[in-house]
Each structure stands twice: as structure tokens, then as C-alpha cells.
């Protein structure tokens, strides 16, 4: 009798587990279909116009001699998408289309660092901190990580940082963050948090770059596959970015970093507009929802991406990617991830229109 009771109990547990699993799958399945109805043409002058011409560089003082440096990105237009010389065939990078960036803007010269994030947010979410021992057997230490890019940052944390930075500089916040309302445009089955984030594009504060702004700033006037060349040469790539072969000791070649993992910002050669680490080190969050068909419907002036989606756009690749995956280093390369997913390859940089 006792044995029969135990068997019945086990069967009940199995049945309840199966029921819970089926309901979880139903509630979290990726049933979203990308559609042209996800887009609308941005109204003219959706972004504020700069009050007047502004300096080529700028800095934000965070206190304790801690600064954030910014570079002026000139207004203009560019061809967004896969370059003619690209050997990688990804439909999501097509069709190539001309995008106009009618306003100059400031872009972070570097990725946001751990020290900067800690100063404004009061905590450091990063994986690569002083207590981290990954790659320790390969040489190097993590004794001072203040100038490493902050990582393991969710998209929501990046947005919150932008508002904190704006407030610290006496600027109007771009984002209204409603943590009590579920974003009806977030169709992700992987996000446990779905805050409603509403942008005010006319605010003069700091924000994440749009995907178009990011690629425009990355290319810096170039039309080549990489912002330093049209062909891939590993010895040349090492001069411009941190990637698998110079910052991951399981695959590095000379010259390489003293330790594996993310690296101090600003150590590699910048692009032609003075931006460092636009490729490699950590992936960078952008504002836009990702869509594989966005280039077919995106407006030609200041596109801000689809109205809804599953994941947000990421750009720039990271230190963990192999040289055999050099397509990740291309200016046109697109990636995406859930907004509330922290990972040691995910960071960001900020921008603003003065």
C-alpha cells in the first residue's frame, strides 16, 4: 500500500511538472512575426536641432576628477548596410540604403567604463572585476578594472545610466522610465522585466545611439567593410580592436594583452572621427528594436527602428570573437539580444544632441 502511494505521488509530480512546463512554453514561446506594420515614417524634425554650432569635443565631469569624453559627429548621409566588398551574405543587412543624419551630435569617445557606471549608479555589475580569476593562469591580473568597459549591463540599466548622466549635468532626461507598466511593444519571451520606456527625442540629455547613428559614427565617412580597410588582415585588425586573438588567451597571437578578457578603453587606434573600440572589446546596446526586414521599410532620415519587437539591436562585436569570424568586425554587422539579459560581453556608449 505504501509503495502504491509513493508511485501515485511520483506520477502526480510528473503530471504537474508537465502541466507547468506546457503553460510556461505557451506563455514564453516566440510567436512574434516581423511585419512591415512594425514601422512608421519618423515625422520631420523628430530630433531636436542643436542650438548653435558646438565644439569638436566635450567632456562631462562626474566628480573626483572622473570625466567622460565626447567627440562631435558631423551631420551628413551614408549608405547603411552590407558593403559591396563584404563576403558575408546576410539578408538582414540588405537592402543597402542611404540614410540622412541631418544634425551633428556628440558620441562617447569610449565605451562607458566601470568607474563611470559605478559613480552614477552606485554599483558595478561587471564580470571582470578585481576578484575575477578567469584566465588568471594565463598571466595578468584584474587588480584595477576602473577603466575597463562596464559589462553585464542590461539594456534597461544602460537607459537608466543615460538619465542619471543627464541629471548629473543639469540636462533634460531623454527617457521616461515607467517600471510599473508592462511595455506592450515588448514581445520577448526571454525578458523577465518589461519596463515601459518612452523617449523624448527633443530632450537635450544623454541617450543610447540609434542603430543608424551608431553605424554612421562607426564608418566615419568610410564605405569599406571595416572602418580601417576593405580587406581583412589580422595584423591590421590587431591595431584597431580587441578580439579573440589579442584578448582571449585561448587563441591569442603576438602582440596581445597582458591578460584575457575586456581591456581598458582607448588603447587601440581610433576611427577617422576619433572614436575608440567601435569594434571589439564589448558589444554596444542601441536604442532600436531589431528586425531582419527593417532596412526595407526604414525611413531615409533619422530612422529610430521598429515600433515593437523581441530583442534590441547590439553593434560592434566583442573581445571573445575569433579571427575566423571576422565578419563580426564589419561596420555593417548587426546583432541583437533580450533587453533584460546581462552578459560579460554586453556594454554600451552614449550620445546626445547639444
Please choose, from the candidates 93, 118, 62, the residue with its C-alpha nearest in 3D space to the C-alpha of residue 330. 93
Please choose, from the candidates 104, 118, 111, 7, the residue with its C-alpha nearest in 3D space to the C-alpha of residue 68. 111
Please choose, from the candidates 38, 73, 27, the residue with its C-alpha nearest in 3D space to the C-alpha of residue 191. 27
Residue 74 CA to residue 106 CA, distance in Å, equals: 9
Q: Which residue has the cell 565617412?
A: 221
Q: How confident is the model at residue 205 (pLDDT cuts 50, 70, 90)?
A: very high
User: In residues, how long is the chain?
Assistant: 354
Q: What is the pLDDT of residues 119-173, one digit of tens each?
A: 999 999 999 888 776 665 555 566 789 999 999 999 999 999 999 999 999 999 9
Q: What is the mean pLDDT of the chain?
A: 85
To the nearest 10 degrees (0 to 180), the angle between helices 155-168 and 114-121 is 70
Q: Which residue has the cell 588567451?
A: 249
For the segment 195-211, the average pLDDT, to the nearest whole number, is 96
Alpha carbon distance, N-terminus to C-terminus of the chain:
78
Q: How confident is the model at residue 7 (pLDDT cuts 50, 70, 90)?
A: very low
Residue 292 CA to residue 277 CA, distance in Å, equals: 25
- Percentage of the chain exceeding pLDDT 70: 80
Q: What is the pLDDT of residues 294-352, one digit of tens each?
A: 998 888 888 999 999 999 999 999 987 655 567 888 999 999 999 999 999 999 999 99
Domains of the chain as residue ranges with CATH = 47-352 (3.90.1580.10)
Strands 346-347 and 283-289: parallel
Q: How confident is the model at residue 41 (pLDDT cuts 50, 70, 90)?
A: low
The residues, ordered by sequence, that sit 6+ positions from 196 with a Cβ below 8 Å of its Cβ are: 177, 178, 181, 182, 183, 184
Amino acid at each position: 500500500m505504501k509503495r502504491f502511494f509513493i508511485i501515485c505521488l511520483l506520477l502526480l509530480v510528473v503530471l504537474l511538472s508537465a502541466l507547468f512546463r506546457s503553460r510556461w512554453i505557451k506563455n514564453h514561446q516566440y510567436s512574434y512575426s516581423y511585419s512591415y506594420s512594425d514601422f512608421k515614417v519618423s515625422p520631420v524634425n523628430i530630433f531636436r536641432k542643436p542650438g548653435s554650432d558646438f565644439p569638436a569635443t566635450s567632456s562631462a565631469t562626474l566628480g573626483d576628477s572622473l570625466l567622460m569624453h565626447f567627440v562631435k559627429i558631423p551631420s551628413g548621409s551614408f549608405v547603411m548596410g552590407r558593403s559591396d566588398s563584404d563576403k558575408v551574405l546576410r539578408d538582414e543587412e540588405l537592402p543597402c540604403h542611404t540614410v540622412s543624419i541631418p544634425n551633428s551630435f556628440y558620441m562617447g569617445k569610449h565605451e562607458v567604463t566601470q568607474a563611470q557606471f559605478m559613480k552614477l549608479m552606485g554599483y558595478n555589475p561587471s564580470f571582470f572585476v578585481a576578484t575575477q580569476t578567469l584566465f588568471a593562469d594565463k598571466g595578468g591580473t584584474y587588480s584595477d578594472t576602473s577603466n575597463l568597459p562596464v559589462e553585464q549591463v542590461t539594456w534597461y540599466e544602460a537607459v537608466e545610466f543615460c538619465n542619471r548622466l543627464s541629471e548629473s549635468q543639469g540636462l533634460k532626461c531623454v527617457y521616461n522610465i515607467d517600471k510599473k507598466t508592462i511595455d506592450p511593444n515588448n514581445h520577448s519571451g526571454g525578458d523577465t522585466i518589461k519596463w515601459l520606456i518612452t523617449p523624448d527625442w527633443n530632450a537635450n540629455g544623454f541617450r543610447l545611439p540609434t542603430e543608424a547613428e551608431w553605424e554612421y559614427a562607426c564608418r566615419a565617412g568610410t564605405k569599406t567593410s571595416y572602418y580601417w580597410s576593405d580587406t581583412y588582415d589580422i595584423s591590421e585588425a590587431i591595431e584597431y580592436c580587441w578580439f579573440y586573438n589579442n584578448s582571449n588567451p585561448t587563441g591569442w597571437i603576438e602582440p596581445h594583452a597582458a591578460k584575457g578578457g575586456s581591456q581598458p578603453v582607448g588603447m587601440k587606434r581610433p576611427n577617422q572621427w576619433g572614436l575608440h573600440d567601435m569594434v571589439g572589446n564589448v558589444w554596444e546596446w542601441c536604442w532600436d528594436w531589431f528586425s531582419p526586414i527593417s532596412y526595407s521599410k526604414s525611413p531615409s532620415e533619422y530612422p529610430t527602428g521598429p515600433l515593437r519587437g523581441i530583442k534590441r539591436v547590439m553593434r560592434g562585436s566583442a573581445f571573445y570573437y575569433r579571427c575566423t569570424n571576422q565578419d563580426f568586425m564589419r561596420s555593417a554587422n548587426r546583432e541583437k539580444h533580450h533587453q533584460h539579459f546581462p552578459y560579460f560581453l554586453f556594454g554600451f556608449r552614449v550620445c546626445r544632441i547639444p
